[in-house]
Amino acid sequence: MVENCVLTSPLKIWKYYASIEQVNHFNPYIASITSIFLLLEDRFIDSEITGFITWYIDRINSPDKYGLSGTVYDYIITCDGMEKSLEYYDSADGYAGLFLTLNYIYFLKTKDKLLMHKNLEKLKSLGYLIASLKNDKGLTISSPENHTNYLMNNVEAYGGLVSLFKILQILKQEDYRYYYEHAVEMKRNILDKFYDYEEGNFFWAIKEGKKFKMNKMNIYPDVFAQMFPLMYGLLSNLPVVREQTIDIMTHHLNPLKLPKEQYFFYRVIFKMERIFCFS
């Protein structure tokens, strides 16, 4: 780490993922999974998680360059505390879904309702963003520039909707049902559109009607994507598919060879599954 560096809120999370440099390409999605990992491993400092959540909330676009509200860009953050938006994000659905999941898990660990009350309207905007990104097949697109339906992103978007309606129920908000209905529909569509009955695994993407089969020799995204339906509880009532998925992970994923952000996901699979198991 650079000496005499000013660790602003995002960099206080980023330090668990990467060495802090003079100039840092800060990815909010990676920061979200890092925060979830810290929470579920009971290695978190409350002020660091709340600091990042607040930072993210304050940078939600309304709208962004595509006219979408609820997105967040990647940033360049320097050691003297300067920030510059890159006006870019890898996926609108994945970023929003994972951040909503972070907020729900934060509540489960801390029981802090005040933060959710404070950020309620912004959190709803992320749920509405996910709903607005669904195409005529009921699956989310990655962004206005990329209409591909990715398995990982769709499952994360589903998890975000579940997290949001759970938060709204906790806060006794009557409009939770809107997001609940979208979550139920997404669960049905993910299992219907992405599962490859011939191979006994999941297509990792769908683009213009073409479904991309899993190649066991291609760890990312093909094999790595398989664990997401398991992680988000989609297979809790499908024991055969669940065992097939665990078998794929056991034989084809070596956690010690995964990049750090993928390793964070791997470490929390079953803890996340217990949170999201609902029918």
Give the mean pLDDT of 146-169: 98
Provide the whole-model pTM. 0.98
pLDDT at residue 186 greater than cutoff 50:
yes
Which pLDDT score, from 0 to 100, does residue 107 have?
97
Which pLDDT score, from 0 to 100, does residue 72 have?
98
- Of the chain, the percentage scoring pLDDT greater than 70 comes to 99
Q: What's the whole-number average pLDDT of the chain?
A: 97
Which pLDDT score, from 0 to 100, does residue 6 have?
86
Contact 96, 143 (CB under 8 A): no
pLDDT at residue 3 greater than cutoff 90:
no
pLDDT at residue 74 greater than cutoff 50:
yes
pLDDT in tens, 236-246: 999 999 999 99
Which pLDDT score, from 0 to 100, does residue 278 have?
64
pLDDT in tens, 168-178: 999 999 999 99
Contact 207, 149 (CB under 8 A): yes
- Of the chain, the percentage scoring pLDDT greater than 90 comes to 97
pLDDT in tens, 57-66: 999 999 999 9
Residue ranges of domains in the chain, CATH in brackets? 9-276 (1.50.10.10)
Give the mean pLDDT of 259-278: 96
| Long-range contacts formed by 47-53: CB under 8 A, 24+ apart | 48/9, 48/12, 48/13, 49/13, 49/106, 50/106, 50/112, 50/115, 51/9, 51/12, 51/13, 52/9, 52/10, 52/12, 52/13, 53/102, 53/103, 53/106, 53/115, 53/119
**88 three-state secondary structure:** coil
Single-letter code of the amino acid located at 269: I
Give the mean pLDDT of 154-180: 97
Which pLDDT score, from 0 to 100, does residue 43 have?
96
Contact 171, 120 (CB under 8 A): yes
Structure tokens that stand for 238 in this block: 């499908």
pLDDT at residue 279 greater than cutoff 90:
no
- Burial label, 215 (beta-carbon count in 10 A; 0-12, 13-18, 19+): exposed
Give residue 165's pLDDT band: very low, low, confident or very high (50, 70, 90).
very high
